[in-house]
Amino acid sequence: MSRLLVVSPYAPYRDGIAAYAVQEVRWLRAAGDDVEVLSPLPSAAHHHLPLGRVRGAVALLRVARRYDRVVVQYHPALFFGRSSNGPTALLTWAVLVLLVRLVPVELRIHETNFGVGRLPHRVLSRRFLAGASDRTVHTTAERTRLAAESGLAEERFRLIDHGRSFRTHTMLDRPTARRELGIDGDPFVFLSIGFLQEHKGFDRALEAFGRSGVDAEYHVVGSARVDAPDILAHVHRLRTLCATIPGAFLHDRYVSDAEFDMWIRAADMVVLPYREIWSSGVIERCALAGTPTIVRRVGGLEDQAGPTTRLIDDDDELVAALRDAAGTSEVADMDAPTNRTEAQALVRERAAARAGVEVRSTNEAVEALRLLPPIMLPLPTSPRPWVTRIKRVIHRLTAWQLSPLVEQVAELQRRTVAAAESLDAQAAAGSVDRRA
Amino acid sequence: MTARTGTIAFVPPRFGAEVVGGAEAVLAEVAAGLAGRGWQVEILTTCARDHYTWANHYPPGVERNDDVTVRRFPTVVDTPGENRWRVHQLISARRRPTITEQQLWLNDTFRCPRLFEHLLDHASDYRAIVTGPYLAWTTFATATAAPDRTILMPCLHDEPEVFLDVYEPMLSGARGIWFLSDPERDLAQRVVPSRTARTEVVGAPIVPPPRHDPDRFRTRHGIDGPFVLYAGRREAGKGWGRLLDAFGTAVRREGLHLHLVTAGVGDASIPEDLAPFVTDLGFLDEDDRNDAFAAATACIQPSALESFSRVVMESWLAGTTVIANAGSAVVSWHVERSGAGLTYRNDEELVECFRLVAEKPDLVGSLAAPGRDYVIDHYLPERVFDAMEATLFDWTTP
């Protein structure tokens, strides 16, 4: 039995890599290994360190030497935050090179930044990769790309089955799953599921569904993980598309693992129209459920494709695949205008559908104000008792001056939001020009 | 007859004779009750006793507690609480934090990785894993590790936290949910309108004490005359501060001749000028506490955040009227169904309740008459355990 440290985002955080890590930890432990987990944020992991900072990576060196080997669920954000460039990133790469020299490190590569940055960054990243005791990827496309980026031979990247440690979270059959989800009748059901982000391409799939004219339902299921303006705008676009395309539905919800699999079980066809991706856990979950997929040929998805996967390259192929799946013969493209009147009508219809997005973008200003966290004095606490004591002394000495200022700013913030909301409401009612 | 085969695990955040907490008490009683009916039962819990510090108090490992196996796992408290505090400000201001912020908030408290690890390894050994309350990290971790075996006893309160996105998968993805009351189930349907797990309103088991002795209580503590009782945690969240304020108004402004007796944990923080009118008995043992209910003219339940309220049941079993905060839909529901008490909607109404106690104690006392039968009809352990077992047979397989 070897002592293993898995370095990864971890439950109860819920994202693809955290879920992958939980399932691999369960699998490794069942195989007899003594596994502990280290995560970048406090979680159900045994340890946590701020890995996105150099000091976190340095601390990882101290922890890692206590284990026989280390498994890293590698993606750039784990160690580099938002930037893989600059002096901080260079230091982090240097520490990671030390890590692979200190202890055997297995890399499960989910995303890459190995070919990014200036020459010193690239040199160190190659040394890190080359020094790892094992490098695994999920698709041959990833392997080829990594080999090109790193200069290492393709044979040094081992292919593993993405879904080898996955377990299904539902035992329901299709009719029961549909009943549970409130899908009435017996429609042909297309599904796209996951966090709502532009790179997932759910919007293009909905547009293709609208063009296809098939007699079916298209369900998009997922939620926005953060309230960034671009993501809010994307969700609003999906909502607008679903409102204007018959048979399309958006379920803007944060669903459980069981419900996630229940949707896959309920669907006749899962569509992965991704604009960009390395590899996908959704395909593996579809394989577990026996649900066929339509998958855009991007990243390593082609390698993950099974016998019931139909690969597509563009939106026209997607339209054809939707029609074939639903057993609908080619029909006239409903959106294709044949004369000026129809073209004008189409332009107006589309503009009207987009109008909602435009209105939303104005509201985003209010939303952005509303989402500003309230200003407040930091809590005088720390895991280290002596630091807490010092913070409390500082807090007592300065609070009489700072507190009134904080209250004043917080009040200003509240009133600004209220004023903006009021103005927006008046604008919506037409009594005030929105530009005011 | 379906066989009682398989092991049922219970995951309360704390467990032990000295642990004070409504949800923990309910889970412990249900565990013991089902063990008494022949089920194999395990308690999976932390080593903590105190819900303020979550410090490890009990040793980790396995112990036997009557018919129940208890496995304890150490807590980890190593974060400064800044994220929890910052996001709590957003939640309190009724702003919606992002899912990422909610996850930071959820994990910036005590955690119990070894318990999570045990669930990863052994969840399939259990027929069902019963866990609650919903705000505890242990509950969220259990529902994440083994949703298909989780039966939630969420003890939901109508508070901003319950509407956070992170709880939606927990409420919709569990194997089933045991609710303590109809209003709690209604709240869950408001939280997850589109889809909740299978649910059943089972209530909580209440065991009538063998005897109540009000005279023994008065003699032991030297208390004469009519008094109102508050028994519970002395915390702002439980309404203690507002109760004290209203009592102060009743005594200072209205000049009512009334005494308030309080028992429980937490700093009572009694203002100096109210000290002659308030008696703080601290933590009482069970017999003494039951006697206190019987000796009181009325028992006050000032908390708006209740998912069941054991003190209300204990008060009625002792034949004592309940005066309750109408802000709690659950307690109002109990009072309306039983007719054994009064509710107040604001401080002035509470002051008027106090006036009624001071001026018409017999009338107030007589209101309790239907209360005891209400508890016996609905919450005797046999009834509650029957309902729970029916769902175990229906929802789970060995």
- A12 and A147 housed in the same domain: yes
Q: Is residue B166 part of a domain?
A: yes
pLDDT digits (tens, 9 = 90+) for B63-82: 998 889 999 999 999 998 88
Residues A177-189, mean pLDDT to the nearest whole number: 89
Residues A283-305, mean pLDDT to the nearest whole number: 89
Q: Is residue A418 part of a domain?
A: yes
- B186 and B46 housed in the same domain: yes
Is a pLDDT exceeding 60 seen at residue A334?
no
Q: Is residue A332 part of a domain?
A: no
- β A3-7/A69-74 pair status: parallel
Q: What pLDDT, on the 0 to 100 scale, is given for residue B196?
A: 64
Torsion of Cα atoms, B318 then B26 then B112 then A165, to 10°: -170
- B71 and B201 housed in the same domain: yes
Closest Cα in chain B to A257: B173
Q: Is residue B95 part of a domain?
A: no
Pick the range with the lowest mean pLDDT from A197-201, A375-379, B239-243.
Answer: A375-379
- A343 confidence band (pLDDT: 50, 70, 90): low
DSSP A355-405: HHHHHHHHHHHHHHHHHSPPP-PPPS--SSHHHHHHHHHHHHHHHHHHHHH
- B163 and B286 housed in the same domain: no
Is a pLDDT exceeding 50 seen at residue A332?
no
Q: Is residue A302 part of a domain?
A: yes
Residues B331-360, mean pLDDT to the nearest whole number: 93
User: What's the CA gap between A126 and A407, in Å, rounded?
Assistant: 52
Interface test with A, best of B91, B144, B152 (most A CBs within 10 A): B144
* Contact: A381, B169; criterion CB under 8 Å: no
Q: Is residue A314 part of a domain?
A: yes
Pick the range with the lowest mean pLDDT from A83-87, A166-170, B236-240.
Answer: A166-170
| Number of domains chain B is built from | 2
Q: What pLDDT, on the 0 to 100 scale, is given for residue B326?
A: 93
- A287 and A389 housed in the same domain: no
Give Cβ neighbours of residue A145 (< 8 Å, ≥ 6 apart).
A112
pLDDT digits (tens, 9 = 90+) for B1-27: 578 999 999 999 999 988 877 889 999
Q: What pLDDT, on the 0 to 100 scale, is given for residue A32?
A: 92
* Contact: A371, B95; criterion CB under 8 Å: yes
Interface test with B, best of A10, A256, A386 (most B CBs within 10 A): A256
Asked whether the bond before A404 is cis by omega within 30 degrees of 0, the reply is: no
User: What's the N-to-C CA distance of chain B in angstroms?
Assistant: 14
Closest Cα in chain B to A170: B148
Is a pLDDT exceeding 70 seen at residue A367?
no
- A359 confidence band (pLDDT: 50, 70, 90): very low
Q: What pLDDT, on the 0 to 100 scale, is given for residue A355?
A: 42
Residue range of the domain that includes A46: 3-159
* Contact: B117, A29; criterion CB under 8 Å: yes
- B59 and B190 housed in the same domain: yes
Torsion of Cα atoms, B391 then B393 then B394 then B398, to 10°: 120
Q: Which of B93, B165, B195 sits opposite A374 (nearest CB)?
A: B93
Q: Is residue B386 part of a domain?
A: yes
B390 has a chain A CB within 8 A of its CB = no
- B224 and B126 housed in the same domain: no
Q: What is the distance in angstroms between the Cα of B391 and the nearest Cα belonging to chain A?
A: 18
Q: What is the distance in angstroms between the Cα of B9 and the nearest Cα belonging to chain A?
A: 19
With beta carbons less than 8 A apart as the criterion, state whether A199 and A275 touch.
yes
- Out of A298, A325, A352, pick the residue that ends a domain: A325
CATH of the domain at B265: 3.40.50.2000
Is a pLDDT exceeding 60 seen at residue B48?
yes
User: Which chain B residues touch A223 with a CB distance below 8 Å?
Assistant: 99, 165
With beta carbons less than 8 A apart as the criterion, state whether B283 and B266 touch.
no
Q: Is residue B84 part of a domain?
A: no
| Number of domains chain A is built from | 3
pLDDT digits (tens, 9 = 90+) for A71-114: 999 999 999 977 777 889 999 999 999 999 999 999 999 988 88
Instruction: Tokens 């009519």: give the residue.
Output: B226
- A107 and A180 housed in the same domain: no
Q: Is residue B257 part of a domain?
A: yes
Q: Is residue B40 part of a domain?
A: yes
Q: Which amino acid is at B127?
A: R
Q: What pLDDT, on the 0 to 100 scale, is given for residue A351?
A: 45
- β B198-201/B228-231 pair status: unpaired
- A195 and A293 housed in the same domain: yes
Give Cβ neighbours of residue B285 (< 8 Å, ≥ 6 apart).
none
* Contact: A254, B100; criterion CB under 8 Å: no
Q: What pLDDT, on the 0 to 100 scale, is given for residue A145?
A: 86
* Contact: B104, A41; criterion CB under 8 Å: yes
User: What's the CA gap between B262 and B311, in Å, rounded?
Assistant: 12
Percent share of chain B, pLDDT over 90: 81
- A153 and A232 housed in the same domain: no
- A179 and A299 housed in the same domain: yes
Q: What pLDDT, on the 0 to 100 scale, is given for residue A415?
A: 77
Name the percent of chain A in helix, strand, coil, to the closest 5.
Answer: 50, 15, 35
Q: Is residue B93 part of a domain?
A: no
* Contact: A379, B85; criterion CB under 8 Å: yes
- A286 and A357 housed in the same domain: no
Q: Is residue A164 part of a domain?
A: no
Closest Cα in chain A to B109: A42
Is a pLDDT exceeding 60 seen at residue A348?
no
- B181 and B244 housed in the same domain: no
Q: What pLDDT, on the 0 to 100 scale, is given for residue A126?
A: 92
Residue range of the domain that includes B386: 7-75+110-205+380-395
Instruction: Tokens 């007719």: give the residue.
Output: B339
- A354 confidence band (pLDDT: 50, 70, 90): very low
- Out of A301, A325, A349, pick the residue that ends a domain: A325
- A150 and A190 housed in the same domain: no
Q: Is residue A435 part of a domain?
A: no
- B372 and B343 housed in the same domain: yes
B275 has a chain A CB within 8 A of its CB = no
With beta carbons less than 8 A apart as the criterion, state whether B311 and B284 touch.
no
Q: What is the distance in angstroms between the Cα of B140 and the nearest Cα belonging to chain A?
A: 7
Is a pLDDT exceeding 70 seen at residue B304?
yes
CATH of the domain at A179: 3.40.50.2000
- A28 and A144 housed in the same domain: yes
With beta carbons less than 8 A apart as the criterion, state whether B234 and B261 touch.
no
- A151 and A221 housed in the same domain: no
Pick the range with the lowest mean pLDDT from A61-75, B92-106, B286-300.
Answer: B92-106
- A233 and A283 housed in the same domain: yes
In angstroms, what is the C-alpha Rg of chain B? 21
User: What's the CA gap between B151 and B173, in Å, rounded?
Assistant: 10
Interface test with B, best of A251, A254, A390 (most B CBs within 10 A): A254
Give Cβ neighbours of residue B219 (< 8 Å, ≥ 6 apart).
none
Q: Helix A16-30 and helix B113-122: axis angle, to 10°?
A: 70
With beta carbons less than 8 A apart as the criterion, state whether A266 and A177 touch.
yes
Secondary element (H or E) of residue B280: strand B278-280
- A380 confidence band (pLDDT: 50, 70, 90): low
Secondary element (H or E) of residue B332: helix B329-338
Pick the range with the lowest mean pLDDT from A249-253, A293-297, A378-382, A420-424.
Answer: A378-382
- A346 and A288 housed in the same domain: no
Exposure b/e, A47-62, CB count within 10 A at least 16 = b: bbbebbbbebbbbbee
Is a pLDDT exceeding 80 seen at residue A285?
yes
Is a pLDDT exceeding 60 seen at residue A387?
yes
- B353 and B331 housed in the same domain: yes
143-162 in chain B: CB under 8 A from chain A: 144-145, 147-148
Q: What pLDDT, on the 0 to 100 scale, is given for residue A41?
A: 93
* Contact: A374, B107; criterion CB under 8 Å: no
pLDDT digits (tens, 9 = 90+) for B262-297: 999 889 999 999 999 999 999 999 999 999 999 999
Residues A284-289, mean pLDDT to the nearest whole number: 88
Closest Cα in chain A to B191: A253
DSSP A134-171: EEEESSHHHHHHHHHHH---GGGSEE--TTTT---S--
Is a pLDDT exceeding 70 seen at residue A224?
yes
User: What's the CA gap between A91 and A74, in Å, rounded?
Assistant: 17
Instruction: Tokens 């080619």: give the residue.
Output: A330
Q: What is the distance in angstroms between the Cα of B111 and the nearest Cα belonging to chain A?
A: 7
> Looking at this predicted complex, what is its ipTM?
0.79
90-119 in chain B: CB under 8 A from chain A: 90, 93, 95-96, 98-100, 103-104, 106-108, 111-114, 116-117
- B391 and B289 housed in the same domain: no
Tokens of A35: 């596994």
* Contact: A43, B111; criterion CB under 8 Å: yes
Exposure b/e, B194-208, CB count within 10 A at least 16 = b: ebbbebbebbbbbeb
Q: Is the dihedral of CA B253, B259, B264, B265 positive or negative?
A: positive
- Out of A269, A296, A325, pick the residue that ends a domain: A325
Q: Is residue B185 part of a domain?
A: yes
Percent share of chain A, pLDDT over 90: 44
pLDDT, chain A, mean? 83
pLDDT digits (tens, 9 = 90+) for B148-191: 899 999 999 888 999 999 998 899 889 999 999 999 999 999 98
